[in-house]
């Protein structure tokens, strides 16, 4: 994805948002309108309950509703476009119903996933995880859902081929073929995941405290954080669980802390942002200005400002090189 391609994308008028998918590339306006309408009615509005799904607990419903209540205001800070996502778009998978192969696959690896081709989120909680982890996963995947998304449409096979998902961009030789769908690479994927988790941390800090179902776990988390002298390390603790163990005939409480995800990718993103800031001292008041620029690109799809900033700082072709460096493996 070069600057010229990004500029052409951004000059196109965006249709009204009716699902996670906001644009269909390389089709006439009327065809785009038709495809977007079909995605809304056949995917976004039709949330079918899977045989692998279980009913949400009352606490999970409370958490999801609490997150959705505040998400619209949160994304507006970064120029995000609202979307009427409901608790029905979030499907909780029952791990006891998964086959061994499924457990070893993506459902066994990730805590949750947003599926653009089905317009839904699946969450795969483990029995030993608390509701704070559940809330974090739901928030992370919702931020993917609310991100700018565009597709190429395979006219022959009737398939949606992901083109842009937030900050990440699919790259392939033939963007209208099944081979592209199966073999495409997503440039900037590490940046996209780093941004999404950083935004999740911010949402957690600002809004999780207002959800009653999370109150006790947040109290325990704050207690554990207060014991850690390194405030940066303390702030990385997303959740914690306690377990009673017998040691020498006495009951001892053991704490198990879990940090926010994508630590390596987030460190690399912040290293990049700080370096850009130091190299452009008169252009920005703080690193937060640059982070906001990246976050706005995630929600709006308008990456031209970021691309130009990277190329101004590091030279022509550096934005594409950054994409290659941070692509999905």
Structure confidence by residue, pLDDT tens digits, 41-64: 999 999 999 899 999 999 999 999
Dump strand ranges (E) for the chain.
23-25, 90-92, 112-115, 120-123, 149-154, 159-165, 168-171, 185-187, 237-247, 250-259
What is the pLDDT at residue 160?
79
What is the pLDDT at residue 105?
67
pTM score of the predicted model: 0.90
What Å distances lie between residue 251 and 129, 188, 246, 247, 256, CA to CA? 22, 48, 5, 6, 16
Number of H helices and E strands in the chain, helices first, is 14, 10
Segment 298-304 mean pLDDT: 95
Residues in the chain, total:
329
What is the pLDDT at residue 13?
53
Q: Is the pLDDT of residue 261 over 70?
A: yes
């Amino acid at each position: 994805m070069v600057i010229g391609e990004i500029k052409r994308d951004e000059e196109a008028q965006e249709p009204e948002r009716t699902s996670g998918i906001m644009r269909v590339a390389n089709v006439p306006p009327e065809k785009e309108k038709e495809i977007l309408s079909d995605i809304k009615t056949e995917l976004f509005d039709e949330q079918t309950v899977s045989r692998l799904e279980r009913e949400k607990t009352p606490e999970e419903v409370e958490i999801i509703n609490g997150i959705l209540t505040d998400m619209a205001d949160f994304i507006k800070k970064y120029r995000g476009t609202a979307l009427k996502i409901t608790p029905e778009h979030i499907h909780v998978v029952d791990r006891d119903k998964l086959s061994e192969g499924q457990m070893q696959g993506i459902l066994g690896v990730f805590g949750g996933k947003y599926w653009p081709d089905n317009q839904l989120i699946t969450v795969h909680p483990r029995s030993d995880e608390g509701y704070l982890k559940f809330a974090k996963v739901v928030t992370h995947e919702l931020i993917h859902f609310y991100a700018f998304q565009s597709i190429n449409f395979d006219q022959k096979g009737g398939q949606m081929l992901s083109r842009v998902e937030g900050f990440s961009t699919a790259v392939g030789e033939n963007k209208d073929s099944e081979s592209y769908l199966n073999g495409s690479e997503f440039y900037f994927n590490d940046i996209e995941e780093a941004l999404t988790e950083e935004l999740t941390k911010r949402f957690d800090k600002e809004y999780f405290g207002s959800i009653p179902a999370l109150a006790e776990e947040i109290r325990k988390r704050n207690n554990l954080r207060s014991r850690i002298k390194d405030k940066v390390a303390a702030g990385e603790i997303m959740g914690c669980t306690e377990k009673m163990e017998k040691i020498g005939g006495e009951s001892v409480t053991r704490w198990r802390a879990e940090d926010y995800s994508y630590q390596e990718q987030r460190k690399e993103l912040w290293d990049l942002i700080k370096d850009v800031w130091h190299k452009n001292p008169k252009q920005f008041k703080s690193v937060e200005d640059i982070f906001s620029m990246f976050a706005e690109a995630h929600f709006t799809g308008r990456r031209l400002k970021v691309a130009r900033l990277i190329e101004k700082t590091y030279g022509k072709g550096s934005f594409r090189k950054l994409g290659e460096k941070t692509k999905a493996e």
